């Protein structure tokens, strides 16, 4: 049976004081919870998230918790969610575009880093565009346990300096995202250094996650569609529309020759017929999508995609800014 999580986000603006003095941030709380976690749907979860952050909005955070670090702020936010009857499976707080903290079976922090580099993949089929020397503005996201953002920065600094404005083939004979992630894992001394997981993004539309044992890649997709949510009891019951955003995640052992889990292009091609069935359609008029809600859509996408893409392990579907559902094949 398909497993499901609701996901939602809520922004707030606040100032705080730390060793660097007073400064302000545009924070964003991210919450995930299962259907039995106290939220009726993703929209209700978003409403609970907004209510949880409301006391912190336009405030001095040190008046709520001291010291007012990202990880410390998760405690009062989780308490406020639980007071509303919501039991979060996962919480994350982004305090800046490149950093934040999270909580899910333990606390962690994360920080993103960028570098510009060239590469080519020598083992791809003839005519594949990645066989040509080309380049990317890479982003690497490190998740750390027992580390803060400054410590993650210090850990990354020598590796980032080595990779920036370089050719990755000088470091790896076949620098796929997956093999680059494994190389970074070793160079950063993970997991002994405190890094528990890392993400390598070649573009904003594709990326790879590695935890020392398993590679998972994702490909972003989108489509435009109309819907109405049956029995919603609010404006969602009216015919309306969304620009839906998706992430298709797959995992499998690495291809020993290609050096990847799967070609990003193959993921896009396998999902293509599913996207075409949804794009510029009225979703609640399609068989299996009569409910018209994002949770039903996430389940439907998993069930429609899995036969075409056996390596599928997760689908994220967003109908609004951070609001949606995550489905896992049963």
Largest CA distance in the chain: 62
Q: By C-alpha distance, which of 307, 293, 8 is closest to 329?
A: 307
Residues 152 and 198 in one domain: yes
79-103 burial, b if ≥16 CB within 10 A, otherwise e?
A: ebbeeeebebeebbbbbeeebbbbb
Give residue 74's pLDDT. Answer: 96
274-319 pLDDT, tens digit each: 999 999 999 999 999 999 999 999 999 999 999 999 999 999 999 9
Residues 178 and 225 in one domain: no
Whichever domain contains 192, its CATH number is 3.30.479.10
330 or 257: whose pLDDT is higher? 257
Q: How many domains does the chain have?
A: 3
Q: Is residue 172 part of a domain?
A: yes
Contact 32, 5 (CB under 8 A): yes
pLDDT of residue 29 exceeding 80: yes
The strand pair at 206-210 and 134-144 is best described as: unpaired
Strand-pair partners of 200: 140, 208
Under the phi-then-psi rule, with left for phi > 0, alpha for psi from -120 to 50, and beta for the rest, what region is 45? alpha
pLDDT band at 6 (very low <50, low <70, confident <90, very high): very high
Q: How far apart are CA 82 and CA 37, in angstroms?
A: 10
Residues 26 and 68 in one domain: yes
51-89 pLDDT, tens digit each: 999 999 999 999 999 999 999 999 999 999 999 999 999
Which residues have C-beta within 8 Å of that of residue 45, sequence separation ≥ 6?
A: 6, 7, 8, 31, 33, 39, 86, 323
Residues 74 and 41 in one domain: yes
Q: How far apart are CA 251 and CA 314, in angstroms?
A: 9
Q: What is the DSSP letter of 255?
A: P
Q: Is residue 200 part of a domain?
A: yes
For 27, the domain range is: 1-96
Last residue of a domain, one of 175, 195, 213: 213
Residues 65 and 75 in one domain: yes
pLDDT of residue 1 exceeding 90: no
pLDDT band at 2 (very low <50, low <70, confident <90, very high): confident
Q: Is residue 207 part of a domain?
A: yes
Q: Is residue 153 part of a domain?
A: yes
Give residue 223's pLDDT. Answer: 98
pLDDT of residue 228 exceeding 90: yes
Point out the residues that are catalytic. 130, 165, 202
Last residue of a domain, one of 149, 181, 213: 213
pLDDT of residue 106 exceeding 90: no
- Mean pLDDT (the chain) is 96
Half-sphere exposure of 123 (CA within 13 A, CB side): 14
Could you tell me what percent of the chain has a pLDDT over 70? 100
Give residue 20's pLDDT. Answer: 82
Q: How far apart are CA 117 and CA 114, in angstroms?
A: 10
Q: Is residue 283 part of a domain?
A: yes
Q: What is the DSSP letter of 67?
A: S
Give residue 160's pLDDT. Answer: 98
């Amino acid at each position: 049976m398909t497993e499901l999580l609701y996901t939602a986000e809520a922004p707030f603006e606040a100032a705080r004081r730390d060793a660097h003095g007073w400064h302000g941030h545009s924070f964003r709380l991210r919450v995930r919870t299962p259907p039995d976690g106290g939220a009726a749907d993703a929209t209700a979860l978003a409403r609970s998230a907004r209510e949880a952050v409301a006391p912190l909005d336009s405030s001095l955070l040190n008046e709520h918790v001291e010291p007012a670090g990202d990880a410390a702020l998760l405690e009062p936010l989780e308490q406020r969610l639980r007071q509303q009857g919501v039991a979060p499976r996962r919480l994350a707080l982004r305090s800046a575009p490149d950093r934040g903290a999270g909580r899910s079976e333990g606390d962690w922090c994360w920080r993103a880093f960028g570098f510009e580099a060239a590469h080519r993949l020598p083992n791809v089929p003839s005519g594949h565009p990645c066989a040509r020397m080309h380049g990317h503005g890479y982003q690497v996201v490190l998740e750390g346990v027992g580390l803060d953002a400054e410590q993650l920065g210090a850990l990354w600094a020598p590796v980032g300096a080595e990779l920036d404005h370089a050719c990755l083939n000088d470091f790896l004979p076949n620098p796929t995202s997956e093999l680059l992630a494994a190389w970074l894992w070793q160079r950063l001394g993970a997991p002994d250094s405190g890094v528990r997981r890392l993400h390598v993004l070649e573009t904003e539309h594709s990326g790879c996650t590695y935890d020392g044992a398993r590679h998972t890649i994702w490909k972003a997709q989108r489509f435009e569609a109309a819907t109405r949510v049956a029995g919603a009891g609010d404006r969602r019951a009216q015919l309306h529309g969304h620009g839906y955003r998706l992430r298709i995640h797959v995992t499998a052992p690495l291809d020993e020759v290609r050096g990847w889990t799967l070609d990003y292009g193959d993921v896009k091609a396998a999902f293509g017929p599913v996207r075409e069935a949804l794009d510029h359609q009225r979703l609640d008029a399609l068989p299996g999508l009569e409910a018209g809600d994002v949770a039903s859509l996430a389940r439907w996408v998993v069930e429609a995609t899995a036969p075409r893409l056996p390596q599928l392990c997760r689908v994220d579907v967003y109908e609004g800014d951070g609001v949606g559902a995550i489905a896992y094949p049963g």
